[in-house]
Amino acid sequence: MNGNPPLAERMRPSSLDDYVGQEHLIGKGGILRKVIESNTLPSFILWGPPGVGKTTLAKIIANQQKRSFFTLSAVNSGVKDIRAIIEKAGKSHFFNAPSPVLFIDEIHRFSKSQQDSLLGAVEQGTLVLIGATTENPSFEVISPLLSRCQVYTLKPLERADLELLIDKALKNDFDLKKRQVVIRENEAMLRYSGGDARKLYNVLELIIQHESSDPVEITNELVMQRVQEQMAMYDKNGELHYDIISAFIKSMRGSDPNAAVYWLARMIEGGEKPEFIARRLVIFAAEDVGLANPNALLLANACFDALHKVGWPEGRIILSETTVYLATSPKSNSTYLAIRKAQKLVKDTGDLPVPLHLRNAPTQLMKELGYGKDYQYPHNHDDHFIAENYLPDEIQKTKFWEPASNDRENELRKKMKKWWNDHYKY
């Protein structure tokens, strides 16, 4: 197998029929499949974790629609490179040829000026932009560009998907099918892959390359032994990314500042993007500290802003301060549970009508129909409060937020009891 492209590259599918995973997008009736088969193609962004087929999908789409395919990596491309491709794309519009595709990997790494340089070409249809990102486009892609693109979310591959990929490789790869490979256990391979096809193929190829004689019997013990020996190979580009961020979050949630700072250091030394860490701190402050210490969200947000002002390496001190503060703060997930419960009810009950007294009445007709009638203005009452029904009739007295047991929320519970009595049973 030496001298060949890596297994992941050799097994890259060339058609939608060979593509594995993302059934919600490209399965029968999937929204993206409909777009592809309609032979029209809007600009869009593929958002998902590494190794789930973003690059492959972009190539398949361009090939199926017979469009020219240009690619750039945000890591090593600048505005000059973008303009050169836009010029090439403009010259390719002849004999009613469809607009070419420009695929930009890691588009979240593009600066504002680089993203700005794409706007005109995307808007005029000079090219179709397909961006790939592992980061939330809402944070990393400028609003004018994001408004011109659809966003499709790709999911980590499921166990069945990963097992299918292994089977395909053993049966179809020119090199692997020469070997006698017996999968006795696959849990370790699947665990190390983390839903990433590329990692899965790397592990599979590593194991088989190290075994000189047939049959190769793959067990969990063998996989762990070989992967531990070659961990540097897999960690070079952040393969432990999700495991370490999970340990970081859980250490803060468990109020262990020492462990949290250790995992923070692991991320820093591993080259993790500071902005990614800061964003996770903001989320943690809201999700896990919450109302037990409302200042936590303010500090986490200030941390995010300060990183942009101070830069690196001093920014690591700001991350450390925020990490220790959050780890040592009292914890509450009451607001997280509240919105989750409310969302579930919305999905179960649909669009319940807004009560008439809560509706705005900008026209005389709306007033005649009862919009806004009998609404009680809280500021006209003692304590700026008046008991009123603010939920749809069908779900009156449904309580979504339950105060947690901490000093701050115990005070809020007393206030709710004073105001609402038995309405919400606080």
What integer pLDDT is reported at residue 3 of this predicted model?
Answer: 52
Contact (CB, 8 A) for 111 and 275: no
Cα distances (angstroms) measured from residue 312 to each of 28, 262, 417: 47, 19, 48
Question: Strands 181-183 and 150-153, how do they pair?
Answer: unpaired
Query: Residue 302's pLDDT is what?
Result: 95
CB 199 within 8 A of CB 239: yes
* CATH, range 159-235: 1.10.8
Decide if 70 contacts 85 (C-beta within 8 A): yes
According to DSSP, residue 155 is labeled P
Amino acid at position 256, single letter:
D
User: Is the distance from CB of 14 to CB of 60 less than 8 angstroms?
Assistant: yes
Identical fold for domains 22-153 and 350-420, yes or no, is: no
**Which CATH architecture is the domain 22-153 placed in?**
3-Layer(aba) Sandwich (3.40)
Q: List C-alpha distances in Å: 401 to 341, 362, 412.
A: 9, 32, 11
DSSP for 369-384 reads TTTTTT---GGGSGGG
How, if at all, do strands 44-47 and 150-153 pair? Answer: parallel
| Angle, CA 385 vertex, CA 379 and CA 386 arms, to 5° | 105
Q: Taking the domains of the chain in order of start, what are their residue ranges? A: 22-153, 159-235, 241-328, 350-420
Q: Tell me which residue has tokens 């007709």.
A: 365
Distance of CA 91 to the CA centre of its chain: 36
pLDDT at 115: 82
pLDDT value of position 318: 94
Q: Assign residue 270 a region (left: φ > 0; alpha: ψ between -120 and 50; beta: otherwise).
A: alpha
pLDDT value of residue 232: 42
pLDDT at 75: 67
Q: Indicate the fold that domain 241-328 takes in CATH.
A: Zinc Finger, Delta Prime; domain 3 (1.20.272)
pLDDT < 70 stretches in the chain: 1-4, 75, 92-96, 228-241
DSSP-based three-state secondary structure for 328: helix
350-420: CATH topology is post-AAA+ oligomerization domain-like (1.10.3710)
- C-alpha span between 201 and 210 (Å, rounded): 14
- Residue by residue, DSSP assigns 32-91 as HHHHHHTT----EEEE--TTSSHHHHHHHHHHHTT--EEEEETTT--HHHHHHHHHHHHH
Bridge partners (DSSP) of residue 216 are: 181
Number of neighbouring beta carbons within 10 Å of residue 106: 18
Q: How far is CA 181 from the centre of its chain?
A: 35
For 20, phi and psi rounded to 5 degrees? Answer: -115, 130
- The runs of H, that is alpha helices, within 211-355 are 220-229, 231-235, 241-253, 257-269, 274-284, 295-310, 315-328, 334-349
Q: pLDDT value at position 426?
A: 73
